[in-house]
Amino acid sequence: MIHILYGDDEFSISETLSPMKEAVGAEELRDVNIKTFTGSGVGFGELTSTCSTVPFLAERRMVVVEGLLGLFESKPGSRRSGRGGKPGLGEWEALAQYLPDMPESTELVFVDGRLLQSNPLLASIRHLADVRSFPVPAGGALTQWIRARAADHGAQIEPRAAQTLSENIGGNLRAIDNELERLSLLRHGSVISDADVRETVADVREANIFAAVDAVIEGRAGPAIQMTQSLMDSGRTVPHLLAMLARQVRLILLAKDLRAQGVAGNQVGGRLSLSGYPLKKTLDQESRFTFEQLAEVHGKLVEFDLTVKTLPIDERTAFETLIADLAMSASASPGG
C-alpha cells in the first residue's frame, strides 16, 4: 500500500503515522521492519531496494520517505528545474513504473509539507496512492478541533476558552494539545473555563503583556492602567511586570533594528528566538512604533527599576503612576 500524507499540519500527520507504524508488527521488531529516509538523502535505487526487501519475522514492513515530493516543487533557479522552470524528475521518473510491482508486504509512506497540485512527482504517482492532505485548521474549524481534542483528553472546554486558545496560539496544534492535556489534568475532567486558560497558559499570559505594552506605547492611559491593575490583581508582581515590559520593548527595538538592516520577517524570529504568536505580535508592534517611542519607554523603565531598588516607595502605586506617565507621554509624541 502506498500513502501520501502532506500539508502544514505536521501534528495531525504525525498522529496519523503513529498508529500505522504500530500496526507493522511486534514492538521488538519494528526497528528492523520500519525504515525512514529523508528525501534529500535517498536515491531511487536505494529506495526501491529497501521497498523490495521482505519483512523480518513479520507480515509487513514500512518505508517512510520524508520530504521527497517537496524537492520537486516549482522554484525558480532550483537545481532540479527543467524546461519552463518546472522541476525535472530525473531518476525518479521510474518511480511510477516501479510502484505497481512493489511487494504487497511493503507499506510505503511519503510524508511532506505543503505541496502544489502541479508538483510533477505527486502528479505521477497520485493515482497509485492513498493521498491525504492535512491543512492547519483555522477560524471556526480550529475552535472545533480544540473542543474535540479536549474531549479526547477526557475534558470539556467552554467555547470562549477554546476561542482564547485559538486566538493566542493559532495553528500550532502540538502546543494547543500540550496545553489541553495539562488543563485537563488540572481540572480533573471538569469543564475548562476561559479563566483557566487565561491564568495558566503561557501564550495567553504573554498576550496580556502584549496588550499592556500596546496600550502604553499607543498612549491609551486608561486601558494601560486598567490592564496593569488586572495583571497585579491576578498575582503578577511589580518586578515581574517591569521585567516583562522591558523585555518586550527590547525585543521590539531589536526587531526594528533587524528590519532596518534588511533582515526578512521570517528570519527575525530565529534571531530573537521567537515563534508563533509572540513573534507575530512583536513584528506587528515593530511596524507601528518608532525608535524614539520605544527608546523613551525603555529608558523610563530602567530609571524606575533603579528607583524602586534604592528608595522606600509603594511599588504598586509608583508603577501605576509610571504606566500613566508613559502612556500620556506616548500620546503627546508626534508618532502617538
In the chain the domains, ranked by start, together with CATH numbers, are 2-133 (3.40.50.300), 139-200 (1.10.8.60), 203-332 (1.20.272.10)
Number of other CB atoms surrounding residue 111 within 10 Å: 24
Helix (H) or strand (E) holding 34: strand 34-38
Number of other CB atoms surrounding residue 265 within 10 Å: 14
DSSP label of 81: B
- Say what the pLDDT of residue 297 is: 83
- Say what the pLDDT of residue 79 is: 44
Amino acid at 315: E
Angle at 207 between CA 147 and CA 306, to 5 degrees: 150
Q: Give the Å distances, CA to CA, from 7 to 13, 35, 111, 135, 277.
A: 8, 22, 9, 5, 21
Give the integer Cα–Cα distance in Å for 198 and 220.
23
- Say what the pLDDT of residue 277 is: 65
- Say what the pLDDT of residue 204 is: 64
Give the integer Cα–Cα distance in Å for 280 and 328.
26
Give the integer Cα–Cα distance in Å for 201 and 183.
9
Number of other CB atoms surrounding residue 268 within 10 Å: 21
Tens-digit pLDDT string for the chain (336 aa):
999 999 988 899 999 999 999 888 788 888 888 999 999 899 999 999 999 999 888 888 999 999 999 999 875 444 444 444 445 788 999 999 999 999 999 999 999 988 988 899 999 999 999 999 999 888 889 999 999 999 999 899 999 999 888 877 777 788 889 889 888 988 876 899 988 887 777 666 666 677 787 788 777 888 888 888 877 876 778 888 888 888 888 888 999 999 888 887 768 888 887 776 677 778 888 887 888 888 888 888 899 988 888 888 888 889 888 888 888 877 765 555
Which residues on adjacent β-strands are paired with residue 133?
Answer: 6
Helix 159-169 vs helix 202-217: angle between axes, to the nearest 10 degrees? Answer: 70
Pairing mode of beta strands 2-6, 61-66: unpaired
Q: Give CA torsion, residues 272, 277, 283, 284, to 10 deg.
A: -160
Which residues on adjacent β-strands are paired with residue 38?
Answer: 66
Backbone φ/ψ region at 112: left (φ over 0), alpha (ψ -120 to 50), beta: beta
Give the integer Cα–Cα distance in Å for 228 and 238.
9
User: Are 111 and 66 contacting, i.e. CB atoms less than 8 angstroms apart?
Assistant: yes
Phi and psi (nearest 5°) for 178?
A: -60, -40
For 112, the grid coordinates are: 511532506
Chain-centroid distance of CA 186 in Å reads: 24
Which residues on adjacent β-strands are paired with residue 108?
Answer: 2, 63
For 14, the grid coordinates are: 504525525
For 164, the grid coordinates are: 482564547
Helix (H) or strand (E) holding 60: none
Q: Give the Å distances, CA to CA, from 218 to 33, 116, 223.
A: 60, 42, 10
Cβ partners under 8 Å of residue 20, min gap 6: 3, 62, 107, 109
